[in-house]
Chain A
Amino acid sequence: MKSLIPALLLIFCLAVVSLFVGVSDVSLWSVLNGTADQRQVMILLASRVPRTIALLLAGSGIAIAGMILQMLARNRFVEPSTTGTVESAGLGMLVVLLLAPDMPVMAKMLVAAVFALAGTGMFLAVLRAIPLRSVLMVPLVGIMLGGMISAVTTFFAYRFDLFQSMGAWANGDFSAVLRGRYETLWVAFALTIAAYIAADRFTVAGMGEEFSTNLGLNYRRIMAIGLVIVSMVTASVVVTAGVVPFLGLIVPNIVSMAMGDNLRKSLPWIGICGAGLILACDIVGRTINAPFEIPVGTVLGIIGSLFFLYLLLRRQSRVA
């Protein structure tokens, strides 16, 4: 646990950098010695601080949701965007836009979460019904399911002229996060704490139904709890910032390589690394082509797909 402290310090430094990177000139020094004018303080409090907090919460939440999903599906290659979870949350958002566009954010998030829950449940039901011989088939099935769901979303979005609104969440972007528009992410944070409290159960669930039953654990109940956590976390991130791809895949796999999957030990690391990676990617996206921004979803997509390839190739060479 002690070694977590340097990691937390690193996150803190990244967060400070994130606070002072941007088009408007707000420097750490001017804030500290009180020379910052009112406009600068306003930018800091209304935009930069919410954005940084949102990144931290979303990053740790998605990474932990990815890990839990990997335990529930008993497959290392799944994460919310390869199981139909994200696409289902998107469909839920479309339904809200069509039927009740004036709903408060929290209610939107809940509707998206219910859809995400149904989609992920469907994915796990498919896995149960068709025992797949190859571990690589599992994310492929999930991606296909996600494709079908997003095809439905696209069709209705096109018919009802909501294409632009739906396009906004398809690529995760934290530039529009402002005070008052990110607070649902605290729900995700509360759920990740709940996940940590139940960490041992998820590790046991990762050993399979028979192991869980032997150890006296109600497998169905822990599956249900895990699904609710994954769906709510995913939905809150999708509603706030859009799809953050690959994060839930990369971080759990790296942490697993380094320290294994005893979640009691590894979940804090997964949370911290998730927050750190998304912060770093967001900072890169903001600076590489300044004053324009590259959405964090794009940066993560590039890094994540390369890492996914690495994972696949590593597996191949191990088998051979």
Chain B
Amino acid sequence: MIGISGVSKSYGQTVVIDDVSLTLPKGGLTSIIGPNGAGKSTLMSMIARLLPIDRGTVMVDGLDVALTAGDALAKRLSILRQDNHLAARLTVSDLVSFGRYPYSKGRLTDEDRGHIERALTYLGLDELKHRFLDELSGGQRQRAFVAMVLAQDTDYMLFDEPLNNLDIRHAVAMMKLLRDAAKDLGKTVVVVLHDINFASCYSDHIVVMRRGRLFRQGVPEEIIREEILIETYETDFKVRDMDGNRIATFY
């Protein structure tokens, strides 16, 4: 369980996150949606201690992220941000191996190697594992980063817009993979998403942010509703039931 209580963040006079209190349930896939500038990514970065928290606390399984040692937290919670630019020229398998850094500190054990192999296979990267990241397409590279997070094998995995750079086929495959990781491996997956329909079809729980505040949260049926989406995005929406999913259109 991730407990967020009274969290705020501001840059100078601009308040980006305004007193957010929220509990993210353990297990399943939680999506955070909302318009640009709603504070989704900022909130996620604070949960993963990438950004200092101005006020309030974030607790992961009872550990305060601001006070817990970085390497201890790295075994419980991982995050993949968007726009990952590496100065280091690494192969796919090198990168995925670094997912084991919190455990091995660079000296890989057989258990580490098992995790690395499974993560590579899970993401369909066996053929590409000796290729350098700068020789891959954007989608393949994204999969390599996700494999690294998977190898890190934490109970909580946070992804900031994991569908960036992915075409439709790979985006669907990625969402299925994240959902399966939650279901089969018992992980808690939290994703920031721009695509409402992906959130609607794949989430167990949806959090809506708006203007730096928590706006709504609940199961997809409670959230993917015309009146809520219209108010969130200030755009006209139609919501239809299709094959048991709620699909929003806004074109």
Contacts and interface: CB of A to CB of B under 8 A. Distances in A.
Interface of A: 70-71, 73-76, 199-201, 203-204, 206-211, 213-218, 256, 260-264
Given A203-B90, A215-B98, A260-B90, A208 B85 contact: yes
B213 interface: no
A255 B77 CA distance: 34
A218 B70 contact: yes
A263 B106 CA distance: 11
Contact of A200 (B45, B87, B99, B101): B101
Given A201-B106, A216-B71, A262-B91, 20 more contacts: A200-B98, A200-B105, A203-B88, A208-B86, A210-B81, A213-B49, A214-B74, A214-B80, A215-B99, A215-B101, A216-B70, A216-B73, A216-B74, A217-B101, A260-B89, A260-B94, A260-B132, A261-B88, A262-B94, A263-B88
A94 B88 CA distance: 36
B79 A214 contact: yes
25 contacts: A71-B88, A73-B87, A75-B87, A200-B98, A200-B101, A200-B105, A207-B86, A210-B81, A211-B86, A213-B49, A214-B79, A215-B74, A216-B70, A216-B71, A216-B73, A217-B101, A218-B70, A256-B89, A260-B88, A260-B89, A260-B90, A260-B94, A262-B90, A262-B91, A263-B88
B172 to A, nearest CB: 26
Given A200-B101, A200-B105, A217 B70 contact: yes
Interface string B30-57: 0000000000000001001110000000
A136 B48 CA distance: 32
A76 B87 contact: yes
Nearest to A135: B87
The 3 A-B residue pairs whose C-beta atoms are closest, nearest first, are A216-B74, A216-B71, A200-B106
A207 B101 CA distance: 13
B217 interface: no
A248 to B, nearest CB: 15
A79 to B, nearest CB: 14
A104 B102 CA distance: 43
A204 B90 contact: no
A216 B101 contact: yes
A204 B74 CA distance: 14
Nearest to B158: A214
A261 B89 contact: yes
Contacts of A216: 69-75, 101-102
Interface string B86-114: 11111100100011011001100000000
